[in-house]
Structure 1
Amino acid sequence: MLLTRLIAQLIAKAIGDGALDLVDADGHRRRIGRGTPSLTLRFHDHRVPRDLLVNPRLHFGEAYMDGRISVEGGTIYDMLDLVTRGTEVHGALGRVLETLSPALRLAQQHNPLDRSRKNVSHHYDLSQAFYRLFLDRDMQYSCAYFARPDMTLDEAQEAKKRHIAAKLLLAPGMRVLDVGCGWGGMALYLAREAGVRVTGITLSAEQLAVARARAEEAGLADRVTFELRDYRQMTGRFDRIVSVGMFEHVGVPHYGTYFAKLRDLLAPDGVALLHSIGRLDGPGATNPWIRKYIFPGGYSPALSEVLPQVEKSGLLSTDIEILRLHYAETLRHWRSRFVAHWDEAKAMYDERFCRMWEFYLAGAEMSFRSQGHMVFQLQLARSIGAVPMVRDYMVRCEEAMAQERERERTLQHHA
Structure 2
Amino acid sequence: MRGRFNLWTHLVSRFLNRSIKNGSLTLSFPDGTVRRFGKGNPQIAATITRPSTVRRIAFHPDLAVGEAYMNGSLRIDDGDIYTFLELVLRNLGDAKSSPVRRIWLAIRRNTRPFTLFNPKGRAARNAAHHYDLTDELYTSFLDADRQYSCAYFAAADDTLEQAQLRKKRHIAAKLLLQPGQQVLDIGSGWGGLARFLARKHDVSVAGLTLSAEQLKFAQKETLTAGLADKVRFLLRDYRNENRKYDRIVSVGMFEHVGTPHYQTYFDCVARRLSDDGVALIHTIGTSGPPGAPGAWINRYIFPGGYVPAMSEVLPAIEKSGLIVTDVEVLRLHYAETLRAWRRRFLANRARLAALHDDRFCRMWEFYLAVCEAAFRHTGLVVFQFQLAKRQTTVPLTRDYIAKAEGRL
TM-score of the superposition, structure 1-length normalised?
0.94
1:31 has 2:58 as partner: no
What residue is the counterpart of 1:132 in the other structure?
A: 139
Q: Conserved in 1, the CA contact under 8 Å of 2:289 and 2:309?
A: yes
Aligned residue identity for 2:105: E
1:350 has 2:387 as partner: no
1:219 has 2:226 as partner: yes
1:44 to 49, 55, 60: 49
For the residues of structure 1 that align with 2:215 and 2:95, how far apart are their CA atoms?
Answer: 40
What residue is the counterpart of 1:410 in the other structure?
A: none
For the residues of structure 2 that align with 1:181 and 1:348, how far apart are their CA atoms?
Answer: 26
Query: What is the deviation of 1:319?
Result: 0.3
Query: What is the deviation of 1:255?
Result: 0.6
Any idea what SS the aligned residue of 1:18 has? strand
For structure 2, the 5+ residue unaligned runs are 1-5
Question: Percent same amino acid among aligned pairs?
Answer: 51
Aligned residue identity for 1:331: L
1:254 to 250, 261, 280: 261
Q: Conserved in 1, the CA contact under 8 Å of 2:185 and 2:205?
A: yes
Alignment of 1:334-373 (within 5 A): 334-373=341-380
Aligned residue identity for 1:26: D
Q: Can you list the C-alpha shifts for 1:74-100, whole angstroms capped at 9, x where unaligned?
A: 101010011112222433487661223
Aligned residue identity for 2:278: V
For the residues of structure 2 that align with 1:215 and 1:184, how far apart are their CA atoms?
Answer: 8
For structure 1, the 5+ residue unaligned runs are 402-415
Alignment of 1:270-309 (within 5 A): 270-309=277-316
* Farther-moved stretch of structure 1 (24-33 vs 252-261): 24-33
Matched pairs, number: 401
For the residues of structure 2 that align with 1:120 and 1:79, how far apart are their CA atoms?
Answer: 30
What residue is the counterpart of 2:120 in the other structure?
A: 113
Aligned residue identity for 1:17: N
Q: Conserved in 1, the CA contact under 8 Å of 2:124 and 2:211?
A: yes
Query: What is the deviation of 1:36?
Result: 7.4
1:188 has 2:179 as partner: no
Change (3 A) 1:96 1:357: farther
For the residues of structure 1 that align with 2:305 and 2:40, how far apart are their CA atoms?
Answer: 39
Q: Can you list the C-alpha shifts for 1:115-155, whole angstroms capped at 9, x where unaligned?
A: 00000000000112210000011100000000112100000
What residue is the counterpart of 1:65 in the other structure?
A: 70
Q: Conserved in 2, the CA contact under 8 Å of 1:56 and 1:96?
A: no
Aligned residue identity for 2:370: G
Q: Can you list the C-alpha shifts for 1:328-379, whole angstroms capped at 9, x where unaligned?
A: 0000000011111101111111000000001110100111111111000000
Alignment of 1:371-410 (within 5 A): 371-401=378-408
Change (3 A) 1:38 1:102: closer
Change (3 A) 1:380 1:36: closer
What residue is the counterpart of 2:12 in the other structure?
A: 7
Alignment of 1:70-85 (within 5 A): 70-85=75-90
Q: Can you list the C-alpha shifts for 1:247-289, whole angstroms capped at 9, x where unaligned?
A: 0000111011100110110010000000000010110011100
Any idea what SS the aligned residue of 2:104 has? coil
Q: Conserved in 1, the CA contact under 8 Å of 2:138 and 2:146?
A: yes
Any idea what SS the aligned residue of 2:170 has? helix
Query: What is the deviation of 1:30?
Result: 1.7
Query: What is the deviation of 1:225?
Result: 0.2
* Farther-moved stretch of structure 1 (11-20 vs 368-377): 11-20
For the residues of structure 2 that align with 1:33 and 1:72, how far apart are their CA atoms?
Answer: 17
Q: Can you list the C-alpha shifts for 1:180-228, whole angstroms capped at 9, x where unaligned?
A: 0000000000000111000001000000000000100000001000000
For the residues of structure 2 that align with 1:46 and 1:191, how far apart are their CA atoms?
Answer: 57
For the residues of structure 2 that align with 1:35 and 1:253, how far apart are their CA atoms?
Answer: 45
